[in-house]
Structure 1
Amino acid sequence: MADIWQMLRGGHWPTLLGAWLHLTVSFMVWLLIGALSLPMARALELTGTDLSVLVALPLLGGALLRVFGGWSCDWFGAKNTAVAILIGELAVLLWGWLADPASIGLWCLAVSLGLGGASFAVALPLAGQAYPPSSQGLVLGLAASGNIGTVLVLFLAPRWAESLGWQQVFGIMAGIVTVTCVLFILLVRESRQGDRHRRDVEWWHHAATLLRQRSAYWLCFLYAITFGGFVGLCSVLPMLLYETYGYDAVAAGSVAALCGLVGSVIRPFGGYAADQRGGMRVLYVVLPLIVGSVVAVTSPSQAMGMAMIVLASGAMGVGNGVVFQMVAEEFPEQIGMASGLIGAVGSVGGFAFPIVLSGLKLVTGSYDAGLWFFAGLGVCAWGMVFLRLRGAAVVDGEGAP
């Protein structure tokens, strides 16, 4: 514990706090429709297919906007980009609060909430720039634990909707984003130096270097499993719990919030463990936990199902922290762009999760096929980690992992 405090004192902690706050509130915006899915379905008379697409659209929007956010972070600076994202979130929330929820506008609103997902490509570079390389795993894990916003929105939004109506929740969130924007401007220090021309040249060089690296694509796949699985599961949980175990909106939101809490709180420990033991070795243990728990989510025993949902969320949270420690280690000069690209693929994984789950349920009549499909992808990821560890052991003259 003393080592952790020493690491935190080695950088600019207000910037780390500001980055964490930005990500926390942005995650609340990003998963707002998932948290309000059941009240919105009742009020707007949405079908199950409509609801699954509506829940998934912010995740798709976040995937696309993360790439832009990473580019803007490297080009214009992380702080400027972060402020622009908060202002954009505020505009979207005001639209959702004041506008008539017509069908076309509802889909556009859902995609636009993906702005919250773009925060990841900005908050992590900000935190990373404020600390030395030796602390990157811990610091990025702490900043990324801002996905605890998942917990807050899944717990609070259904309760607000029950008292005030789902549309008023957008107004409440608009106020929260406004306060966050002011605090962020006051707390965060932009560490980027150099002239604009040099940044432009560096950006194109970093882009070309990143796209030539095979490890970037490999890390994309790992993040699609760990982060995509986490955010996709949290988004679809209210609907899954309602249809599988008969939970109402508030109870389902509470369980989903618990899962988000576990996955968020444990994430920094994943980064710290990767700093100490190496990311590959930690993933070698974590991925089987993800696979085993996911296949048991719809267990005949409700208690076992709840335990497996929480275990899956926690294991994915550890995996999130590990993967971004590996990103910082692999691409120290392209952290903004790498965060954007790899985070975007993770968001695509989150977008695909509800769509595949709902589609296979429509065909088979249960969620099991979709969960088994995701588990199969997890097995593939574990096999890749095993082969990389085995190759590294051969080079170093050690035994297999």
Structure 2
Amino acid sequence: MTAPSSSTASRKGGRWIEQWDPEDEAFWKEKGERIANRNLLFSVLSEHIGFSVWTLWSVLVLFMGPEYGLTPADKFLLTSMVTLVGAVVRVPYTFAVALFGGRNWTIVSAGLLLVPTVAAFTVMEPGTSFSTFLIVGVLAGIGGGNFASSMTNINAFFPLRRKGWALGLNAGGGNIGVPVIQLIALAIIGASGGPRVLLGIYIPFILLAAVLAALFMDNLASVKNDTGAARDAAREGHTWIMSFLYVGTFGSFIGYSFAFGMVLQNQFGRTPLQAAYLTFIGPLLGSLIRPVGGWLADRYGGARITLYNYVGMAAATALLIVAGMQDSLPVFVAVFVVLFVLSGLGNGSTYKMIPGIFQAKAQAKGLRGEEAAAYGRRLSGASMGLIGAVGALGGVGINLAFRQSFLSYGSGTGAFVAFLAFYAACFAVTWAVYLRRPIGGKAAAPAPGTKSQLSYAEV
């Protein structure tokens, strides 16, 4: 069989690859892997900058002392709104890839990051009203959309057997934008610099990401604008089940990334510099471990890794409740870092489950070979935007829960009790839907003319 051509043509204002079949091993070895890896590299860069801009305000609030006139509740509300916008824009960003092309949209989405960065640079000073900070902060939410378009794009480049690692690396490289901006902020605060220095550093990097995407990325013509895929994904129950599970992993990661520094300041009395010394560690390790979560899922099954991961997250949360009640800062920080690591591991394993689920759905429909792979790519790509958007809403919930907990109890303990109950629910759903075996062992073979039962052994 002759491998499909991957020649790049000029169409619709960009570089387009007209034929792409990563499941064909001859094609993959000859040219597909090299092209996919190149696009992955520059996708990671753009998504990395996007995450940094999205989480700008988790750092900027550390600079905002009493002279800014904001209460802890104001700051939690501000970061909640930034997270909310980042979640909502993930849906249109997902479908922008099919409409404009992965390369073309990466250029546009990277360039759009200038808007919130320049706006924050303009207003970041004492005397600015809270409503102005809220409006400008909301603009930073567009950085959260880069994740959805990037993941949808990279999902189309890689074969099923490599998706766990590739998606984990892509997302992990983006997630690491959170600790990087926190580390830069730490250096600036340590040098007695102001927030505008931090914002000024990122403007040229935003421009660089857009230029490199234009020079080195490609569009896939096979990823066509398909509103039917979005409709089918929204109707699929597994899209919403996986959204719920992703709230527990990514919602935790992004929510804690925004809230960790403020919890240290308000519950343990840390100064901005002291908080900055600690806040980057958890997001850094959680980002680095995400590809490992994908790799483990490739090897042992995403559902199994996800299940055990929720056990760990629940145990860590219980320890945080104890540490908070005993006012033990060393234990609190150490366990919080472990919780970050587990959230990153779970991010990788849950996202690996998505293409596996839709591949299993295709096989249950009787599809085989490239037809099954195309069905899986179509629905998994469409569902990723919805799952990513709902998952990010978990970050909103975490910041609002902390806000209410501090207003009601003066600490974050009440919020952690709620998180513990949620992780227990995630464990139960993962086991019941993806790992529970029918009573009596292996299911009987389906009767002629009936649909075969889905098997999620590889999910």
Give TM-score, length-normalised by structure 2: 0.80
Which position in structure 2 is the counterpart of 1:187?
Answer: 216
Counterpart of 2:178 in structure 1 is 150
1:363 aligns with 2:405: no
Equivalent position to 1:234, from 257, 272, 281: 257
Task: Tell me if 1:376 matches 2:403.
Answer: no
User: Secondary structure of 2:220's partner?
Assistant: coil
1:109 aligned onto 2:133: no
| Equivalent residues of 1:297, 1:308 under 8 A apart | yes
Relative to structure 1, the CA distance from residue 20 to residue 319 in structure 2 (aligned partners, 3 Å threshold; closer, same or farther) is same
d(CA) in 2 for partners of 1:78 and 1:52? Answer: 34
The amino acid across from 1:127 in the alignment is: I
Q: In the alignment, which of 258, 265, 272 is matched to residue 249 of structure 1? A: 272
Q: Is the 8 A contact 2:95 2:149 kept in 1?
A: no
Instruction: Number of aligned residue pairs: give it.
Output: 387
Report the CA distance between 1:358 and its aligned residue: 1.4
Per-residue CA shift, 1:180-231, capped at 9, x if unaligned? 221222232222337xxxx34xx12102211111100000011111000111
Distance 1:240 1:18, change over 3 A: same
Identify which of 189, 206, 210 aligns with 1:177. 206
Cα distance in 2 between the residues matched to 1:336 and 1:254: 38
Structure 1: segments with no counterpart, 5+ residues: 1-5
Query: Does the CA contact (< 8 Å) of 1:141 and 1:270 recur in 2?
Result: yes
Does the aligned pair in 2 maintain the 1:74–1:337 contact within 8 Å? Answer: no
1:33–1:55 Cα contact (<8 Å) kept: yes
Do the aligned residues in 1 keep the contact of 2:265 with 2:272 (CA within 8 Å)?
yes
CA offsets 1:151-180 (integer angstroms, 9 cap, x no match): 101121243256331233222222221122
| Distance in 2 separating the partners of 1:84 and 1:281 | 38
Q: Which structure is higher in helix share?
A: 1
Q: Identify the match of residue 159 of structure 2 among 106, 111, 132.
A: 132
**Residue 54 of structure 1 contacts residue 110 of structure 1 at CA under 8 Å; is this kept in 2?**
yes
Instruction: Specify the code of the residue in structure 2 equivalent to 1:330.
Output: I
Change (3 A) 1:219 1:325: same
Aligned to 1:56: 80
Task: Give, as a single letter, the amino acid of the residue that structure 2 aligns with 1:138.
Answer: W
Q: Is the 8 A contact 1:137 1:325 kept in 2?
A: yes
C-alpha separation between the residues in 1 aligned to 2:440 and 2:68? 60
- Give the Å deviation of 1:275: 1.1
Q: TM-score if structure 1 supplies the norm length?
A: 0.91
Cα offsets for 1:102-157 (capped at 9, x unmatched) = 43321111111011100111111222222222100010000000201111011212
2:236 aligns to what? Answer: 213
Residue 389 of structure 1: how far off its partner (Å): 4.2
The corresponding residue for 2:383 is 338
CA distance in 2, matches of 1:250, 1:127: 38
In 2, Cα distance between equivalents of 1:98 and 1:254:
27
Distance 1:372 1:211 in 2: 31
**Of 110, 114, 120, which aligns to 1:86?**
110
Which deviates more from structure 2 when the two are superposed, residues 264-273 or residues 249-258? 249-258
Q: Equivalent residue for 1:33?
A: 57
Structure 2 equivalent of residue 3 of structure 1 = none
> Structure 1 segments of 4 or more deviating over 4 A?
8-11, 393-396
The amino acid that maps onto 1:105 is T
**In 2 relative to 1, CA 394–112 (structure 1 residues): closer, same or farther, beyond 3 Å?**
farther
Alpha-carbon distance between aligned partners in 2 of 1:320 and 1:223, rounded to the nearest angstrom: 7
CA distance, structure 1, for counterparts of residue 331 and residue 251 of structure 2: 23
Q: How far did 1:10 drift?
A: 6.4
Shift in alpha-carbon separation, 1:282–1:394, aligned structure 2, 3 A: farther
Measured after TM superposition, the shift of residue 51 of structure 1 is 0.7
CA distance in 1 between counterparts of 2:158 and 2:435 reads 32
| Residue 317 of structure 1, aligned match among 344, 363, 368 | 344
Deviation digits for residues 305-357 of structure 1, max 9, x if unmatched? 12211110011101100111112223421344322111111111101111111
Specify which of 318, 332, 336 is matched with residue 295 of structure 1.
318
| Aligned counterparts of 2:155 and 2:71: Cα–Cα separation in 1 | 43
Deviation of 1:9 (Å): 4.9
Equivalent runs, 1:259-298 vs 2, <5 Å: 259-297=282-320
